[in-house]
């Protein structure tokens, strides 16, 4: 296998212009979550032109490709890329700037998708050199709950053949291009949406005693919710409660009927996640009732925490070190962002790693989800080969 490493490096470098062209097409033509119809068509056409058979229409806009080596039934490994974009107006001045008003690949899913196609190209030319099957998963709607991962799993993406592990990657603007970041165990948090409607009784601002002021209730509520984290959460298990939206009232002299609050709950423990939801509901309703009002709390379930199997991740780190050199491997802290790769990693051991895309010398360092996010496209000479190498290592790993 060692002898394939140089060959993979070379293939990745040779294929880079083609992979960059794919990335730029995706970047210029972004589509929102669950609406990736042209994106799905483009992915399928690109893969078919490369000689692959594509299973299309899984969870509407998802697709799957199998690459079979020798002895294809021996083992299957899944690789996943997400394909959707965000409702952001791009502010980069680049030739391949988004052509769609208000929609942008600001989270690098164009990079993940083109990189996975690049990995497919490499693995396809090495088919005689590995045993087993590689399942490539192009997943829609990572950015919007309930997400595309759970829908694809329900439609059987982890069966026939059933992968034993899954790998995924995400661009990471904190790390310079060429470096890759790993976390063993939890890498990202669960994400739940909080929608709180405080109901009072409207009235004249000059006669507050005749009204029930939902603005005052909401104010107490926002402060009280801070104790979920500061007093109720186990300090060694991170949790975030952020109220990010407050809407109520129209003028200076009318107490409104109701106030709407919205925010997010993020945790890393499923047990605490359920307990925190109960506390948020109970606290909100009790405060509102204690002040003479009412409160309706709707918590829309988001993604679970993303857990990197420590043993698989250990092997992945070793393989990445051998491919990129030890100086290019970083251990990164978990973050409270969310990611629906979590659902795959709940079903089978998963490893989700972070790929450096920053290059300060050419001004590429904006964070994901910003209008100026971009990547150093050198990453597309690195990431496809790295994933191919990690895949070959996993296929060769003898665990059954």
- Chain residues that interact with Ni ion, rule: CB under 5 A: 107
How far apart, in whole angstroms, are the C-alpha atoms of residue 321 and residue 328? 7
Complex with Ni ion: residue 8 or 107, whichever CB lies closer: 107
Complex with Ni ion: residue 107 or 382, whichever CB lies closer: 107
The encoded tokens of residue 284 equal: 């909100």
Complex with Ni ion: residue 29 or 76, whichever CB lies closer: 29
How far apart, in whole angstroms, are the C-alpha atoms of residue 130 and residue 102? 44
The least distance separating Ni ion from the CB of residue 152, rounded to whole angstroms, comes to 16
Complex with Ni ion: residue 104 or 107, whichever CB lies closer: 107
The least distance separating Ni ion from the CB of residue 357, rounded to whole angstroms, comes to 12
Tell me the backbone φ, ψ of residue 288, rounded to 5 degrees: -60, -45
- Angle separating helix axes 214-227 and 270-290, nearest 10 degrees: 150
Residue with the closest Cβ to Ni ion? Answer: 107
The least distance separating Ni ion from the CB of residue 109, rounded to whole angstroms, comes to 6
The least distance separating Ni ion from the CB of residue 191, rounded to whole angstroms, comes to 12
Closest CA to 264 of 206, 188, 162, 196: 196
The least distance separating Ni ion from the CB of residue 36, rounded to whole angstroms, comes to 14
The encoded tokens of residue 180 equal: 């890759």
Sign of the Cα torsion 150, 152, 156, 158 reads negative
Q: Are 62 and 151 in contact (CB under 8 A)?
A: yes
Complex with Ni ion: residue 107 or 141, whichever CB lies closer: 107
The least distance separating Ni ion from the CB of residue 107, rounded to whole angstroms, comes to 3
Complex with Ni ion: residue 309 or 340, whichever CB lies closer: 340
The least distance separating Ni ion from the CB of residue 170, rounded to whole angstroms, comes to 6
Q: How many degrees, rounded to 5, is the angle at CA 337 between CA 267 and CA 153? A: 85
For the CA atoms of the chain, what is the radius of gyration? 24
> Which string of DSSP letters, residue by residue, matches 154-169?
HTTTT-SSPPSEEEEE
Closest CA to 381 of 62, 74, 114: 114
Complex with Ni ion: residue 86 or 395, whichever CB lies closer: 86
User: Which residues touch 229 (CB under 8 Å, ≥6 apart)?
Assistant: 239, 240, 241
Closest CA to 92 of 28, 20, 187, 17: 28
């Amino acid at each position: 296998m060692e002898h394939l490493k140089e060959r993979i490096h070379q293939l990745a470098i040779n294929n880079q212009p083609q992979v960059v062209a794919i990335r730029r097409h995706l970047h210029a033509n972004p589509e929102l979550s669950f609406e990736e119809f042209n994106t799905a068509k483009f992915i399928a056409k690109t893969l078919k032109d490369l000689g692959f058979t594509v299973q299309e229409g899984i969870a509407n806009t998802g697709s799957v490709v199998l690459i079979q080596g020798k002895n294809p039934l021996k083992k299957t490994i899944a690789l996943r890329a997400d394909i959707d974009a965000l409702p952001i107006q791009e502010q980069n001045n680049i030739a391949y700037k988004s052509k769609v008003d208000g929609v942008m690949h600001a989270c690098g899913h164009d990079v993940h998708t083109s990189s996975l196609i690049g990995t497919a190209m490499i693995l396809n030319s090495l088919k005689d050199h590995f045993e087993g099957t590689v399942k490539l998963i192009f997943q829609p709607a990572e950015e919007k709950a309930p997400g595309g991962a759970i829908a694809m799993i329900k439609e059987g993406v982890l069966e026939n053949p059933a992968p034993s592990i899954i790998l995924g990657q995400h661009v990471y603007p904190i790390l310079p291009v060429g470096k890759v970041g790993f976390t063993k165990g939890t890498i990202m948090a669960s994400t739940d949406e909080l929608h709180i409607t405080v109901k009072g009784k409207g009235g004249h601002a000059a006669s507050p005693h005749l009204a029930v002021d939902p603005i005052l209730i909401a104010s107490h509520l926002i402060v009280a919710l801070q104790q979920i984290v500061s007093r109720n959460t186990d300090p060694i298990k991170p949790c975030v409660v952020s109220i990010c939206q407050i809407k109520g009232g129209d003028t200076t002299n009318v107490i409104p009927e109701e106030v709407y609050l919205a925010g997010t709950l993020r945790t890393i423990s499923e047990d605490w996640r359920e307990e925190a939801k109960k506390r948020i509901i109970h606290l909100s309703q009790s405060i509102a009732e204690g002040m003479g009002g009412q409160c309706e709390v709707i918590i829309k379930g988001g993604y679970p925490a993303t857990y990197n199997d420590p043993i698989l991740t250990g092997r992945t780190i070793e393989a990445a070190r051998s491919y990129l050199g030890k100086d290019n491997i970083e251990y990164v802290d978990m973050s409270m962002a969310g990611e629906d790769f979590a659902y795959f990693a709940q079903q089978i051991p998963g490893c989700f790693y972070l790929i450096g895309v920053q290059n300060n010398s050419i001004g590429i360092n904006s964070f994901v989800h910003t209008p100026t996010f971009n990547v150093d496209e050198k990453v597309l000479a690195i990431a496809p080969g790295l994933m191919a190498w990690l895949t070959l290592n996993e296929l060769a790993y003898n665990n059954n």
